[in-house]
């Protein structure tokens, strides 16, 4: 069955629902409705979907947003008495579809974009009670359909705290994989070459073209199309939650990786021309917004000099041996 014919059935089902609500005891309407159901088994499916949608959008009657207000202000032109009732049903059907389409909970899958600039941090409360916490320089697109919830991580890093609903699964799409929530709190970091996933609570399934990997609480993994799955061992909760506290926590990370992390939070280019010092290890906890303090700490911990080339450029050099 084509998508077009399915949508046509839903439109007809909306009209029948409105007629039956308007004339619940009208025998002719009941007979005509039964005849319509008998024409195609899919008519009953469409009608049940419409009833479920009607119950689902019931709370919207008490909410206010632009599309709803414009629809409610609409006044059709005068029509003849003979056509008025059917015109009313058609208008109501269009209103119902319009509310579902343009509302924050619409089942047609329109997306809402949320993003943060460098140094920003945002917590987004979703309509189902779930939440997404965005790290610096990150972007997501939220698309809630009637039977599925999906968030696309376009760039950056996000922490998901999901209200589980088996009838309406929660999916996170990032790069070439999909993360299927099974009642969870988990972190997803989209790096340049791979995606890192850490599960704090519950369970997730990580789906790729090559297979599915299940992660339980306390487990983390990375995935790249070239290298496949890479186990990262047990989750270090302090490290995985540090950014949510406005901190950067390093435990023996390479200097090159540390500088890349610092660069995520600040509009600055950090140059490291000497490859020999790129593998020097850094440990420590730093406030993410304090660029100078972080750089000064690096120069204190390691045999390097920090040079400010300009307001937005920094050079890291090895200390010359005497």
Three-state secondary structure of 1-69: CCHHHHHHHHHHHHHHHHHHHHCCCCHHHHHHHHHHHHHCHHHHHHHHHHHHHHHHCHHHHHCCCHHHH
Q: Are 100 and 126 within 8 A, CB to CB?
A: no
Name the more confident of 114 and 90: 114
Q: Are 120 and 139 within 8 A, CB to CB?
A: no
Is 287 found in the same domain as 220? Answer: no
| Residues 4-19, mean pLDDT to the nearest whole number | 74
Indicate the burial class of 153 (C-beta count within 10 angstroms; 0-12, 13-18, 19 or more).
buried
Is 49 found in the same domain as 155? Answer: no
Would you say residue 70 lies in a domain? yes
Would you say residue 107 lies in a domain? no
Q: Are 111 and 141 within 8 A, CB to CB?
A: yes
Distance in angstroms (rounded) separating the CA atoms of residues 286 and 206: 32
CATH number of the structural domain spanning residue 284: 3.55.50.30
Domain count, the chain: 3
Is 230 found in the same domain as 116? Answer: yes
Would you say residue 233 lies in a domain? yes
Share of the chain above pLDDT 70, in %: 80
Final residue of a domain: which of 68, 102, 136?
102
Is 257 found in the same domain as 159? Answer: no
Per-residue pLDDT band at 107 (split at 50, 70, 90): very low
Name the more confident of 209 and 83: 209
pLDDT tens sequence across 18-75: 888 878 888 888 999 999 999 988 888 888 877 877 776 665 555 554 544 554 454 4
Is 211 found in the same domain as 125? Answer: yes
Distance in angstroms (rounded) separating the CA atoms of residues 179 and 86: 46
Per-residue pLDDT band at 140 (split at 50, 70, 90): very high
Name the more confident of 321 and 251: 251
pLDDT score recorded for residue 12: 84
| Residues 249-275, mean pLDDT to the nearest whole number | 93
Would you say residue 232 lies in a domain? yes
Would you say residue 132 lies in a domain? yes
CATH number of the structural domain spanning residue 137: 2.60.120.1440
Is 177 found in the same domain as 76? Answer: no
Q: Are 81 and 92 within 8 A, CB to CB?
A: no
The three state secondary structure string of 175-237 is CCEEEEECCCEEEEEECCCCEEEEEEECEEEEEECCEEEEEECCEEEEEECCCEEEEEEECCH
Q: Is the pLDDT of residue 98 over 90?
A: no
Is 261 found in the same domain as 165? Answer: no
Is 266 found in the same domain as 294? Answer: yes
Would you say residue 314 lies in a domain? yes
pLDDT tens sequence across 60-92: 555 554 544 554 454 445 444 444 555 555 555
* Full residue range of the structural domain in which residue 29 is found: 3-102
């Amino acid at each position: 069955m084509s998508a077009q014919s399915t949508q046509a059935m839903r439109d007809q089902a909306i009209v029948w629902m409105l007629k039956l609500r308007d004339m619940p005891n009208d025998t002719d309407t009941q007979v005509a409705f039964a005849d319509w159901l008998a024409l195609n088994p899919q008519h009953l499916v469409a009608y049940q979907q419409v009833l479920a949608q009607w119950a689902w959008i019931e709370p919207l009657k008490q909410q206010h947003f632009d599309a709803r207000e414009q629809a409610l202000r609409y006044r059709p032109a005068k029509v003849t008495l003979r056509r008025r009732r059917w015109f009313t049903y058609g208008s109501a059907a269009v209103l119902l579809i319009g509310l579902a389409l343009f509302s924050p909970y619409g089942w047609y899958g329109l997306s809402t974009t949320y993003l943060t600039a460098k140094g920003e941090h945002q917590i987004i409360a979703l309509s189902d009670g779930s939440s997404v916490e965005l790290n610096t320089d990150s972007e997501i697109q939220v698309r809630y359909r009637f039977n599925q919830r999906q968030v696309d991580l376009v760039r950056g890093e996000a922490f998901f705290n999901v209200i589980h609903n088996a009838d309406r699964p929660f999916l996170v799409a990032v790069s070439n994989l999909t993360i299927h929530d099974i009642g969870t709190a988990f972190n997803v970091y989209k790096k340049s070459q791979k995606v890192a996933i850490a599960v704090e609570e519950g369970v997730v399934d990580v789906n790729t073209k090559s297979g599915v990997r299940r992660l339980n609480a306390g487990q983390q993994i990375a995935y790249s199309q070239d290298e496949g799955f890479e186990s990262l061992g047990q989750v270090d909760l302090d490290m995985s939650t540090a950014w949510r506290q406005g901190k950067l926590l390093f435990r023996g990370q390479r200097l090159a990786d540390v500088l890349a992390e610092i660069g995520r939070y600040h509009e600055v280019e950090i140059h490291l021309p000497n490859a020999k010092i790129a593998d020097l290890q850094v440990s420590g906890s730093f406030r993410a917004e304090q660029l100078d303090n972080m750089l000064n700490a690096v120069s204190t911990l390691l045999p390097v000099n920090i040079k400010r080339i300009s307001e937005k450029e920094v050079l890291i050099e090895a200390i010359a041996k005497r």
